[in-house]
């Protein structure tokens, strides 16, 4: 059935209140035409409103010119984009940087009206800002300030000196010092006429606002977050998880797990729901039943700060990823805002119409929050049965004409793919792929054909072959994906950082356990182990014929290995630091390596002779690949470089987005490079001039690896969110000149 009809049937199911059937029909419509504008839009709206995707993901999906009007509808529902940023203030509140990026650079709290911000810093100074201007500096802390809360004209600050200090914001006077903690204080909270403090000494201490001690509740871990409800409950975030306490009776009511560690916590104003965040998600629990009623996902790292709207229906979160996100508590990410850096504090106005974010970079922004506009559903373009039949006949005629001897197949298929309703018909796509020699001139569009889920930790390595895909994860496993399922390759002790596959039969993995392992793809049997390497294996590759493999370690060892025996054939000498990337040329006579020493190296295979070195990167090289008659490398210096193999001449491709490139894969014709960046997107650049050709959206976490499958109609990518995606790349073609 055509995508037009399936889309309209899905809308009818929605009108009847059957969201499950609507989802099935939308999926069928997108299977028939993966970029059908109305189906992409309607399906996206359904998923967005159900909290399964974020506003960013939906807006990115509507990136085709013919979807521009639909994109506007979504922008209106998530809040008028042009009017969202009301003002921005730059405050010089930066503290000295810390070596551990997961610890706060500063603490930040707002007064109830949002006009006053109070910040605590590593320089031991508490600063008071009014309407963006520094009003006063309060000194007295003996070590770094880690936590700040404000109640009217009173501020409480605490930190590494294990003391809570109470300040009068109007006069700057120190009102009192609260002693009792034995180690760093990491969190403070106010609520229900109580002050709570906690930190590394594993003690939750409760105080009257004037500093009178009330109680001490021992915890089973270091405290990282605190919240108090008006109903006498405390939510405690620990490295080990979340704990719900009755502070009046001292009774532990609930214990909930956290992924890695707990971050920010809060209660809804009525105390009905507890909210806890960890690096993977935002969890919403029903306080009375203990049941997790919602799990919100969207931030690419942890949540550093959060605020619940006064009506308890919305949540504003500030992330380590530099965004603030406005959520419906039912699960939907209604709007994502760029905050200008890690968000140390957030504030929502009492009327729920505006919000503030304070970033560690010194940027404070005030935003207008979304209103109540609801984007309408969009039926498919109205076509009569006669028109649809005529379009079908025309498509069949053109498809047949393209196969006739002597036909201008490219022009005929281009016309066939322009027939309404048949732009991405599978038969047309297949015929397009099977055209004779043609030059790629651009990327018409691209879409996800399959999402690979199953790993329980970030996926950091991928390899794609004719009949299978391979992924490697920090969960300590690799997976071979074929058909509808996957086979787990378990054996490494620690995370798997590198994978390669040859002819869909043999898999090579490298892990933190200082081993490289060879596997049968069909059975999962480990056929050989290369151990005694002295350091983790960070890079692996097979030669095109599968008779050799390269293994690079975190301690500058680069080994040529026989896959049949897992024995070392040769050790290639030259690298002076960890090796992060290796690659073979298409013919197998040459290999590339790069790593922390910032030098790209070209090797002769199988002799292992060093043919050339290419210094230039300022910092580590993250990925390298062979082009047709050139080399490509990417690095921590945020550059994508093209090299002449013989002369070593280097061109920094000018159009590449700042922010770094984690991985590259070059098309077989050498015209384009597919990159994985330090955000949830893939980007296709021209290797000639660095021009950005297209951005591919869909991942929710930073993308670490990407691989193209010759002849480049398919790609595989992964992200730190724990998923991998298979893509179809719909290239535009022309007759070679």
Burial 428-453 (b: 16+ CB within 10 A, else e): bbebbeeeeebebeebbbbbbeeebe
* Per-residue model confidence as pLDDT tens digits over 650-690: 999 987 766 778 999 999 999 999 999 888 899 999 999 89
Q: Which of 28, 63, 84 is the last residue of a domain?
A: 84
Question: H or E stretch including 43?
Answer: helix 37-49
Q: Are residues 457 and 355 in the same domain?
A: no
Tell me the helix, strand and coil percentages in the chain, rounded to 5.
Answer: 15, 45, 40
Q: Does 384 or 191 have the greater pLDDT score?
A: 191
SS3 75: helix
- Residue 297 falls inside a structural domain: no
Q: Which of 68, 84, 100 is the last residue of a domain?
A: 84
Q: Are residues 455 and 570 in the same domain?
A: yes
- Residue 294 falls inside a structural domain: no
Q: Are residues 427 and 459 in the same domain?
A: no
- Residue 454 falls inside a structural domain: yes
Cis peptide before 467 (omega within 30 of 0): no
Q: Are residues 725 and 697 in the same domain?
A: yes
| Contact status, residue 379 vs residue 38, Cβ threshold 8 Å | yes
- Residue 183 falls inside a structural domain: no
Q: Are residues 674 and 529 in the same domain?
A: yes
- Which residues, 6+ apart, have CB-to-CB distance to 708 below 8 Å? 464, 665, 666, 667, 674, 714, 715
Q: Are residues 351 and 393 in the same domain?
A: no
Confidence of residue 93 (pLDDT cuts 50, 70, 90): low
CATH number at residue 600: 2.130.10.10
- Residue 42 falls inside a structural domain: yes
Rounded CA separation 566/548 (Å) = 10
Q: Are residues 352 and 487 in the same domain?
A: no
Confidence of residue 622 (pLDDT cuts 50, 70, 90): very high
Rounded (10°) angle between helices 409-416 and 385-403: 160
CA-nearest of 643, 685, 692 to 664 is 685
- Residue 90 falls inside a structural domain: no
| Contact status, residue 640 vs residue 601, Cβ threshold 8 Å | no
Q: Are residues 640 and 715 in the same domain?
A: yes
Number of H helices, E strands in the chain: 8, 56
Find residue 157's DSSP bridge partners: 148, 165
Q: Are residues 404 and 466 in the same domain?
A: no
CA-nearest of 601, 602, 603, 634 to 619 is 634
* Per-residue model confidence as pLDDT tens digits over 698-715: 888 889 999 999 999 999
Percent of the chain's residues with pLDDT above 70:
96
pLDDT of residue 104: 47
| Cβ-based neighbour number of residue 279 at 10 Å | 18
What radius of gyration do the chain's Cα atoms show? 28
How far is CA 320 from each of CA 333, 519, 615, 679, rounded to the nearest angstrom? Answer: 17, 38, 33, 13
| Cβ-based neighbour number of residue 207 at 10 Å | 21
- Residue 239 falls inside a structural domain: no
For the cut 60, the answer to whether the pLDDT of residue 97 exceeds it is no
pLDDT of residue 677: 84
Q: Residue 75 phi/psi, 5° resolution?
A: -60, -40
Rounded (10°) angle between helices 37-49 and 3-15: 30
Q: Residue 245 phi/psi, 5° resolution?
A: -120, 150
Q: Could you tell me where the beta strands, DSSP code E, fall in 263-413?
A: 265-267, 273-277, 282-286, 292-296, 303-308, 314-319, 323-328, 333-338, 343-348, 354-359, 363-368
| Contact status, residue 10 vs residue 2, Cβ threshold 8 Å | no
Confidence of residue 105 (pLDDT cuts 50, 70, 90): low
Domain membership of residue 58 as a residue range: 1-84
Rounded CA separation 662/385 (Å) = 50
SS3 651: strand
pLDDT of residue 103: 40
Confidence of residue 95 (pLDDT cuts 50, 70, 90): very low
For the cut 50, the answer to whether the pLDDT of residue 457 exceeds it is yes
Q: Are residues 395 and 460 in the same domain?
A: no
For the cut 60, the answer to whether the pLDDT of residue 101 exceeds it is no
Region 370-398 average pLDDT:
89
* Per-residue model confidence as pLDDT tens digits over 75-86: 889 886 555 566
pLDDT of residue 86: 66
| Contact status, residue 265 vs residue 235, Cβ threshold 8 Å | yes
Burial 44-77 (b: 16+ CB within 10 A, else e): bbbbbbebebbbbbbbbbbbeeebeebbebbbeb
Q: Does 471 or 379 have the greater pLDDT score?
A: 471
Rounded CA separation 310/188 (Å) = 20
pLDDT of residue 522: 93
Q: Are residues 510 and 430 in the same domain?
A: no
Burial 160-175 (b: 16+ CB within 10 A, else e): bbbbbbbbebeeeeee
Confidence of residue 98 (pLDDT cuts 50, 70, 90): very low
Report the domain count for the chain: 4
For the CA atoms of 593, 594, 600, 601, the dihedral, rounded to the nearest 10 degrees, stands at -30
Q: Could you tell me where the beta strands, DSSP code E, fall in 453-542?
A: 459-464, 469-473, 477-482, 485-490, 496-502, 506-511, 516-520, 526-530, 537-542
* Per-residue model confidence as pLDDT tens digits over 529-556: 999 999 999 999 999 999 999 999 999 9
Rounded CA separation 492/529 (Å) = 10
* Per-residue model confidence as pLDDT tens digits over 398-452: 999 999 988 899 999 999 999 999 999 999 999 999 997 888 999 999 999 999 9
How far is CA 460 from each of CA 390, 497, 676, 701, 722, rounded to the nearest angstrom? Answer: 49, 6, 11, 11, 8
CATH number at residue 38: 1.25.40.10
Rounded CA separation 510/490 (Å) = 12
Region 174-180 average pLDDT:
96
Q: Which two tokens stand for residue 516?
A: 């490289």
Percent of the chain's residues with pLDDT above 90:
79
* Per-residue model confidence as pLDDT tens digits over 5-50: 999 999 999 999 999 999 999 999 999 999 999 999 999 999 999 9
Region 356-374 average pLDDT:
88
Where is average pLDDT lowest: 96-110, 366-380, 660-674? Answer: 96-110
* Per-residue model confidence as pLDDT tens digits over 271-323: 999 999 998 899 999 999 999 999 999 898 889 999 999 999 999 999 998 99
Rounded CA separation 108/91 (Å) = 12
Find residue 75's DSSP bridge partners: none
- Residue 116 falls inside a structural domain: no
* Per-residue model confidence as pLDDT tens digits over 244-258: 999 999 999 999 999
Find residue 398's DSSP bridge partners: none
**C-alpha of 162 from chain center:** 36
Region 467-473 average pLDDT:
95
Q: Are residues 23 and 62 in the same domain?
A: yes
| Contact status, residue 145 vs residue 157, Cβ threshold 8 Å | yes
| Contact status, residue 538 vs residue 579, Cβ threshold 8 Å | yes
pLDDT of residue 99: 38
């Amino acid at each position: 059935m055509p995508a037009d009809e399936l889309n309209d049937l899905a809308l009818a199911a929605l009108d009847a209140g059957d969201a499950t059937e609507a989802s099935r029909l939308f999926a069928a419509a997108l299977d028939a035409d993966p970029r059908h504008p109305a189906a992409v839009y309607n399906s996206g709206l359904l998923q967005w409103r159900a909290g399964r995707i974020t506003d960013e993901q939906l807006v990115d999906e509507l990136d085709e010119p013919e979807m521009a009007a639909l994109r506007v509808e979504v922008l209106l529902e998530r809040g008028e984009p042009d009017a969202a940023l009301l003002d921005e203030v730059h405050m010089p509140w930066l503290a000295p940087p810390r070596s551990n990026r997961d610890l706060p650079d500063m603490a930040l709290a707002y007064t109830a009206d949002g006009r006053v911000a109070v910040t605590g810093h590593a320089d031991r100074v508490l600063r008071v800002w009014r309407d963006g201007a520094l009003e006063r500096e309060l000194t007295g802390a003996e070590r770094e300030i880690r936590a700040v809360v404000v109640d009217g004209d009173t501020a409480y600050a605490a930190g590494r000196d294990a003391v809570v200090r109470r300040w009068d914001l109007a006069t700057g006077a120190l009102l009192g010092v609260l002693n009792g903690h034995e180690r760093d204080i990491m969190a403070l909270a106010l609520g229900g006429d109580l002050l709570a403090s906690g930190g590394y000494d594993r003690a939750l201490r409760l105080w009257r606002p004037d500093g009178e001690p009330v109680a001490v509740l021992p915890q089973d871990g270091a405290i990282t977050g605190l919240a108090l409800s008006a109903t006498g409950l405390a939510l405690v975030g620990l490295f080990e998880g979340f704990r719900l306490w009755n502070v009046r009776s001292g009774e532990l009511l609930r214990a909930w797990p956290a992924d890695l560690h707990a971050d920010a916590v809060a209660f809804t104003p009525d105390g009905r729901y507890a909210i806890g965040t960890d690096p993977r998600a935002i969890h919403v629990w029903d306080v009375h039943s203990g049941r997790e009623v919602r799990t919100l996902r969207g931030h690419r790292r942890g949540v550093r700060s959060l605020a619940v709207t006064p009506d308890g229906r919305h949540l504003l979160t500030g992330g380590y990823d530099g965004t603030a996100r406005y959520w419906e508590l039912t699960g939907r990410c209604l709007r994502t805002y760029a905050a200008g850096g890690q968000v140390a504090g957030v504030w929502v106005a009492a009327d729920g119409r505006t919000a503030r974010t304070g970033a560690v970079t010194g940027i404070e922004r005030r935003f207008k929050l979304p209103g109540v506009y609801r984007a309408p559903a969009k039926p498919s373009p109205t076509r009569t049965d006669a028109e649809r039949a005529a379009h079908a006949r025309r498509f069949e005629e053109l498809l047949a004409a393209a196969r006739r001897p002597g036909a201008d197949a490219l022009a005929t298929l281009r016309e066939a793919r322009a027939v309404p309703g048949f732009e991405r018909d599978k038969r047309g796509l297949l015929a397009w792929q099977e055209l004779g020699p043609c030059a790629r001139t651009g990327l018409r569009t691209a879409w996800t054909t399959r999402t690979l889920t199953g790993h329980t930790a970030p996926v950091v390595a991928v390899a794609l072959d004719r009949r299978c895909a391979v992924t490697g994860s920090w969960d300590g496993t690799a997976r071979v994906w074929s058909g509808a399922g996957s086979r787990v390759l378990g054996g490494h002790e620690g995370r798997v950082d590198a994978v390669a596959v040859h002819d869909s039969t043999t898999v090579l993995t490298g892990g933190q356990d200082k081993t490289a392992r060879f596997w049968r793809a069909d059975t999962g049997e480990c056929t050989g182990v290369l151990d005694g390497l002295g350091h983790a294996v960070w890079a692996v590759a097979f030669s095109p014929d599968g008779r050799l493999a390269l293994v690079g370690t975190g301690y500058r060892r680069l080994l040529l290995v026989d896959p049949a025996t897992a024995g070392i054939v040769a050790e290639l000498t030259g690298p002076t630091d960890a090796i992060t990337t290796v690659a073979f040329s298409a013919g197998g006579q040459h290999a590339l390596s790069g790593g922390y020493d910032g030098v790209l190296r070209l090797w002769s295979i199988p002799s292992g002779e060093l043919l050339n070195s290419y210094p230039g990167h300022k910092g580590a090289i993250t990925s390298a690949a062979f082009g047709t008659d050139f080399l490509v490398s990417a690095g921590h210096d945020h550059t994508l470089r093209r090299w002449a193999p013989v002369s070593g001449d280097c061109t920094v491709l000018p159009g590449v987005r700042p922010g770094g490139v984690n991985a590259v894969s070059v098309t077989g014709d050498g015209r384009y490079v597919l990159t994985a960046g330090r955000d949830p997107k893939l980007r296709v650049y021209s290797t000639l001039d660095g021009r950005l050709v297209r951005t591919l959206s869909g991942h929710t976490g930073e993308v670490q690896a990407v691989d193209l499958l010759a002849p480049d109609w398919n790609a595989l990518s992964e992200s730190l969110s724990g998923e991998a995606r298979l893509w179809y790349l719909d290239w535009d073609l022309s007759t070679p000149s």
